Amino acid sequence: YYRLLPDRRFLFGARGDLTGKPADARRMRAFMERRLGQVFPGWAHVPVTHNWRGLVCMTLRRTPSIGELEGDPGVFFALAWHGNGVAAAPWAGRLLARLIGGAAGNGDIPAVFRGAPTRIPFPSLRHWYLRGALGYYRLTDL
């Protein structure tokens, strides 16, 4: 994803990493700097001043989850952006503010996003599931 920010800086991004390890973060940054120059050759010489990263969070239903935690009123969540949080999370933040303030209710959450995700079986294998899913989508995108 990419966009020009209001202060005329350029945002260029991609999905998060798979491990959260510093070495992988350095590799991802180097990849993104090379990719920026490939996609936008005129920006190849411009130094990258900021970067951030995070693990990709996915659900079995393949959609984000938004709501109030069942059994614990007052605890709200918006999670699992599947690598699209920069674009989608601000919208969800506004919705959460309305939910918390009482200006919106559960019915205002789009049904496809409503409620907590189901637990992923064998949580210790999550990184392998994610690697498999990303590999599959990489192949289907060819």
pLDDT at 85: 77
pLDDT at 142: 66
Cβ neighbourhood burial of 16 (10 Å; 0-12, 13-18, 19+): buried
CB 109 within 8 Å of CB 63 = no
Q: What is the CA radius of gyration of the chain?
A: 18
20: left (phi over 0), alpha (psi -120 to 50) or beta: left
Mapped onto helix, strand or coil, the DSSP state of residue 13 is coil
pLDDT at 68: 95
Spell out the residues 6+ positions from residue 98 whose beta carbon is closer than 8 angstroms to its own. Answer: 104, 108
pLDDT at 119: 87
For the chain, the structural domain boundaries read 2-43, 65-140
* Block residue for tokens 């209001």: 6
pLDDT at 59: 86
pLDDT at 34: 94
CB 83 within 8 Å of CB 15 = yes
pLDDT at 19: 77
* Block residue for tokens 């294998």: 125
Positions in the chain short of pLDDT 70 = 142
CA angle, 81 as apex, 20 and 14 as ends, to 5°?
60
pTM listed for this prediction: 0.65
